[in-house]
A and B are shown apart, each in its own frame.
Chain A
Amino acid sequence: MTAPAARRRLSPRAKAALGIFARYATIVGLVAMIVAFSLVSPRAFPTLNNFTNVLNQASLTMIIAAGLTLAVIVGELDLSIGFAASLHGILVTGLIVSNQLPIPVAVAIVLVAGAVIGLINGLIVTKIKVNSVIATLGVGTILTGLAFAYSAGVPIVSGVPEDFLQLSLGRWLFGIPNNILIMVVVLGGLWTLVERTAIGQEIQAVGGNPSAARLAGIDTDRIKILGFVISGVCAALTGILLASRLGSGTASAADGYLLTAFAAVFLGSATLRDGEFHVLGTLIGALIIAFGFNGLNIFGAPTFSQYVLQGAILIVAVGLSSLGRSISES
């Protein structure tokens, strides 16, 4: 009943049509964009090389956005992910360069740190009952402070071993970039977790109706904490891969991922399902954003236009998502 009057006046048939539009609009948009760019720039855009490149770049966004998807499925927002990823980038380079730790150990420590940050977010939200926007914004800001404290404001650039750079820059299996392989494993794993496992059913129930889920015997706090932990681990992984790609640990290097991840998640929720968050949708959302920016780059669009596009995509994404939801509810 809270839907604006304009929407209520739609005929049921128009509403059904609109529903289909909302569901497939993102996919149609993605295909249309690829076709359009290919026609305009047949030599630079539609090449295997460029596509691999786009996917490679997008992999980091996809990983962090897939993690965020888990947090939003359980009905919470995690605004700490970008700041956390920046801190993790510094942390992993610091552990390798300053503390001389072997790369696998450093990576493992940082992944655990990501899980701990997620755990803290989850505990604040479920036990102290702080709104997740406030809680994760607070935690994120503290993490930024820690990042500056740890690096003393100076990026760690020298002494980063080649092996660590290879983590992100290397290729494996038919020469596919590592980033893409890692992304596929992470997203495949999360998709399976959410869609195919018992705990995934509980995750979806908590997101769909927390009160009903609780009374059906689900430990809703535990599930919400799990959502934050997964989000935190994915942020850590993105931070590590970004540091490897940049060859440095820089405070606030990954802050921008926050907005992109949100845009991908909301675009994704408007995809195939009526405003429901899901991992496959997030993947498609991230692809749209990646190809959009790639196109702008190829055409040499000025930097400011990237910000404009980013903001516009976020608004359109949230709009489509809530349109889908209101249709499925009516």
Chain B
Amino acid sequence: MVRSPAAPFLIAEGVAKAFGGAQALSDVSLAMAPGEVHGLVGANGAGKSTLIRILAGLVTPDRGRIRLDGEDITVSSPQHATALGMSFIHQELAFIPGMTVLQNIMLGVPKATRFGMIDWGRIAREVEPVARRVGITAPLSSNVKGLSTAENWLINICRALVRKARLIVMDEPTASLSASESRKLFAIVEDLARSGVAVLYVSHRLDEILRLCDRVTVFRDGRSVAGFARAELSHAGLVEAIVGGAVRRTTKPAEPPPQGVVALKVSNLARRPKVEGVSFDLHHGEVLGIGGLVGAGRSELARLIYGADAPDTGTMELDGAPYAPHRPADAVAAGLGLVPEERRADGLVLTKSVAFNLTIPNLAKIVHSPLLPLIDDRRRSALAEQTVRDLAIKTTGIEAPVGRLSGGNQQKVVIGRWLIRAPKVLILDEPTRGVDIGARGEIHRLIRDLAAEGVAVLVISSEPDEQPDLCDRVLVMVEGRIVRELKGAELTRQAIIEASYARAAAAEETPS
């Protein structure tokens, strides 16, 4: 789709920002034209979210200027940003759970009143068509609590439209969306651009960037290092600009390793309606993928194996012995580890330091002795420093609060805590969500190294390319059941996708 280029209305130039000792932005520039979809890419911690937070009035820049319609502006607050016609959908969504869809859409928007009372009836009539346009199917009066991440995104987009935003900024929108939800989002983005709205689109998924964006700006270490027009865009060129060199591909052994001993045997495990009886063997030294669509019951299966939920039926064996965890502590004691899907909600204590978060399941390693369980600061620092180095976690230090790290670096902390432990079985739920392309390769390599040492690894992923690159074998789950096993030559992106939709398609053809 070729759109006519227009003159930029928003220009940021030479913007710099330091947080304490950390130079988040050194010198970045960005120009946005009406009706363009502008991609913003860069490694974890490159400063993308920081620039966005500056535009949103959440952070004040140290240097640089921002011009809107040719006039210098200082965005002093989120309200000011809204008044200037900018709308933001941040990386970590915030909602007010007790409120309705309509109330959330109208959050911070001046509302029509009648006799001094908010006229919700009239507002609903006005918002309704906008909501339908972006694809919100839930009634406006329903509570947002039960809604999916995708629907939350739609609410945010709807809010931006109601505010008549000229610029909508989306920070990693597809990170928690399914493939079909993502496709809907792309259609909405294209629709927005056609109507003259500018969209600033941040993502680590380069295929999306290639497909959607009219222009792309690349950040590296707090500087804008490259800009591409649509015609100049290529996957290789983007990767090169993002990491400043070539990326090592995943080193999956060409020949699948001879199957080791069974580490975890799962028999007929069920927790209805999400998991409907699942059986499989996971071997030592193997990276086993669980493929399928978001909502197929994969995370729920992981929680059952990990003792976070209780199964209705089914049994498990770990290294030949019966294994029935009542709580995650039992699973961890037995030698399991889990990298949960929602790192901020379920993975990290955000106000605590990197070292704290890395050492939580590894406290036995940092105390003086089992009899004197006092923390040995030297061991604690050594262990944390080592992990930060091994995983190339970008942080000002091991005592920095983990909540201040960029999204991808937070993910590395969650993974790092289990690498320290070297568990028997490691379950990773969306291990590279929000992780940049360089770090993604690193994480894949770490996973392969663990497997080479004999760890049994289970990887849940919704990114179509991830499992063929990484896994020896993939089980595709549909509606709580395993429908297909793929390995060797048949293990391809296409095969996973086809199997993921198989059951759903069959069900549609033969309505019961």
Residue of A nearest to B76 (CB): A11
Chain B residues whose C-beta falls within 8 Å of the C-beta of A11 in the assembled complex: 60, 76
Contact A215 B346 (CB under 8 A): yes
Which B residues, 351 to 383, have Cβ-Cβ distances below 8 Å to chain A? 351-352, 356, 359-361, 363-364, 366-367, 373-375
Which A residues, 215 to 248, have Cβ-Cβ distances below 8 Å to chain B? 215-219, 221
Give Cα A1 to B90, complex, Å: 11
Most A C-beta atoms less than 10 A away, residue of B306, B328, B417: B328
Chain A residues whose C-beta falls within 8 Å of the C-beta of B95 in the assembled complex: 1
Contact A201 B363 (CB under 8 A): yes
Given A1-B96, A196-B375, A208-B352, are A215 and B78 neighbors across the interface (CB < 8 Å)?
no
A171 interface contact, C-beta 8 A: no
Chain A residues whose C-beta falls within 8 Å of the C-beta of B347 in the assembled complex: 212, 215
**Chain A proximity mask over B312-351: 1 for CB below 8 Å, otherwise 0:** 0000000000000001110111000010100001111111
B77 interface contact, C-beta 8 A: yes
Contact A201 B356 (CB under 8 A): yes
**Chain A proximity mask over B28-72: 1 for CB below 8 Å, otherwise 0:** 000000000000000000000000000000011000000000000
Q: How far is the CB of A165 from chain B (nearest CB, A)?
A: 37
Contact B349 A198 (CB under 8 A): no
B79 interface contact, C-beta 8 A: yes
Q: How far is the CB of A235 from chain B (nearest CB, A)?
A: 26
A43 interface contact, C-beta 8 A: no
Give Cα A213 to B359, complex, Å: 12
Contact A205 B374 (CB under 8 A): no
Q: How far is the CB of B416 from chain A (nearest CB, A)?
A: 12
Q: How far is the CB of B475 from chain A (nearest CB, A)?
A: 23
B254 interface contact, C-beta 8 A: no
Contact B373 A215 (CB under 8 A): no
Given A217-B332, A219-B329, are A211 and B363 neighbors across the interface (CB < 8 Å)?
no
A9 interface contact, C-beta 8 A: yes
B231 interface contact, C-beta 8 A: no
A255 interface contact, C-beta 8 A: no
Contact B375 A198 (CB under 8 A): yes
Chain A residues whose C-beta falls within 8 Å of the C-beta of B375 in the assembled complex: 196-198, 200-201
Contact A205 B349 (CB under 8 A): yes
Chain A residues whose C-beta falls within 8 Å of the C-beta of B76 in the assembled complex: 9, 11
Chain A residues whose C-beta falls within 8 Å of the C-beta of B360 in the assembled complex: 201-202, 205, 213, 216-218
Q: How far is the CB of B84 from chain A (nearest CB, A)?
A: 15
Chain A residues whose C-beta falls within 8 Å of the C-beta of B96 in the assembled complex: 1-2
**Chain B proximity mask over A1-32: 1 for CB below 8 Å, otherwise 0:** 11001001101110000000000000000000
Q: How far is the CB of B230 from chain A (nearest CB, A)?
A: 35
Residue of A nearest to B348 (CB): A212
Contact B363 A12 (CB under 8 A): no
Give Cα A192 to B367, complex, Å: 13
Contact A196 B327 (CB under 8 A): no
Chain A residues whose C-beta falls within 8 Å of the C-beta of B327 in the assembled complex: 214, 219, 221
B124 interface contact, C-beta 8 A: no
Chain B residues whose C-beta falls within 8 Å of the C-beta of A214 in the assembled complex: 308, 327-329
Chain A residues whose C-beta falls within 8 Å of the C-beta of B374 in the assembled complex: 192, 196-197
Q: How far is the CB of B431 from chain A (nearest CB, A)?
A: 15
Most A C-beta atoms less than 10 A away, residue of B308, B340, B364, B374: B374
A276 interface contact, C-beta 8 A: yes
Chain B residues whose C-beta falls within 8 Å of the C-beta of A192 in the assembled complex: 374
A326 interface contact, C-beta 8 A: no
Most A C-beta atoms less than 10 A away, residue of B96, B345, B352, B417: B352
Chain B residues whose C-beta falls within 8 Å of the C-beta of A9 in the assembled complex: 76-77, 79
Contact A198 B329 (CB under 8 A): no
A305 interface contact, C-beta 8 A: no
Most B C-beta atoms less than 10 A away, residue of A196, A213, A216, A328: A216
Contact B79 A213 (CB under 8 A): no
Q: How far is the CB of B229 from chain A (nearest CB, A)?
A: 35
Give Cα A218 to B307, complex, Å: 12
Give Cα A219 to B338, complex, Å: 15
Give Cα A329 to B79, complex, Å: 19
Q: How far is the CB of B283 from chain A (nearest CB, A)?
A: 23
Contact A216 B417 (CB under 8 A): yes
Give Cα A329 to B327, complex, Å: 30
Contact A197 B306 (CB under 8 A): no
Given A2-B96, A11-B60, A214-B327, are A199 and B349 neighbors across the interface (CB < 8 Å)?
no
Give Cα A1 to B338, complex, Å: 30
Contact B417 A215 (CB under 8 A): no
Q: How far is the CB of A72 from chain B (nearest CB, A)?
A: 15
Contact A215 B340 (CB under 8 A): yes
Chain B residues whose C-beta falls within 8 Å of the C-beta of A205 in the assembled complex: 349, 352, 356, 360
Contact A8 B328 (CB under 8 A): no
B506 interface contact, C-beta 8 A: no
B94 interface contact, C-beta 8 A: yes
Which A residues, 172 to 227, have Cβ-Cβ distances below 8 Å to chain B? 192, 196-202, 204-205, 208-209, 211-219, 221
Chain B residues whose C-beta falls within 8 Å of the C-beta of A201 in the assembled complex: 356, 359-360, 363, 375
Chain A residues whose C-beta falls within 8 Å of the C-beta of B329 in the assembled complex: 214, 217-219
Give Cα A12 to B54, complex, Å: 11
Residue of B nearest to A219 (CB): B329
Contact A212 B346 (CB under 8 A): yes
Contact B79 A12 (CB under 8 A): no
Chain B residues whose C-beta falls within 8 Å of the C-beta of A274 in the assembled complex: 351
Contact A211 B345 (CB under 8 A): yes
Q: How far is the CB of B163 from chain A (nearest CB, A)?
A: 16
Most A C-beta atoms less than 10 A away, residue of B94, B95, B348: B348
Chain B residues whose C-beta falls within 8 Å of the C-beta of A219 in the assembled complex: 327, 329
Chain B residues whose C-beta falls within 8 Å of the C-beta of A204 in the assembled complex: 349, 352, 356
Give Cα A192 to B374, complex, Å: 8
Chain B residues whose C-beta falls within 8 Å of the C-beta of A217 in the assembled complex: 328-329, 331-333, 360-361
Give Cα A9 to B417, complex, Å: 38
Contact B346 A198 (CB under 8 A): no
Contact B349 A208 (CB under 8 A): yes
Chain B residues whose C-beta falls within 8 Å of the C-beta of A2 in the assembled complex: 94, 96
Chain A residues whose C-beta falls within 8 Å of the C-beta of B351 in the assembled complex: 208, 274, 276, 328-329
Residue of B nearest to A13 (CB): B60
Give Cα A192 to B375, complex, Å: 10
Most A C-beta atoms less than 10 A away, residue of B79, B327, B329, B401: B329
Q: How far is the CB of B428 from chain A (nearest CB, A)?
A: 13
Contact of A12 (CB < 8 Å), options: B60, B94, B338: B60
Most B C-beta atoms less than 10 A away, residue of A1, A198, A204, A218: A198
Chain B residues whose C-beta falls within 8 Å of the C-beta of A1 in the assembled complex: 94-96
Contact B77 A216 (CB under 8 A): no
Q: How far is the CB of B220 from chain A (nearest CB, A)?
A: 25
Chain A residues whose C-beta falls within 8 Å of the C-beta of B350 in the assembled complex: 208-209
Chain B residues whose C-beta falls within 8 Å of the C-beta of A197 in the assembled complex: 367, 373-375
Q: How far is the CB of B458 from chain A (nearest CB, A)?
A: 15
Give Cα A9 to B77, complex, Å: 6
User: Known contacts A198-B373, A212-B349; can you find 11 more A-B pairs with CB under 8 A?
Assistant: A1-B94, A2-B96, A9-B76, A11-B60, A196-B375, A198-B363, A209-B345, A216-B328, A217-B329, A221-B327, A274-B351
What are 20 A-to-B residue pairs whose CB atoms are below 8 Å?
A1-B96, A5-B79, A8-B78, A9-B77, A198-B373, A201-B360, A205-B360, A208-B349, A208-B351, A209-B348, A209-B349, A212-B347, A213-B360, A215-B338, A216-B332, A216-B360, A217-B329, A219-B327, A219-B329, A328-B401
List chain B positions with a Cβ less than 8 A from chain A.
59-60, 76-79, 94-96, 306, 308, 327-329, 331-333, 338, 340, 345-352, 356, 359-361, 363-364, 366-367, 373-375, 401, 417
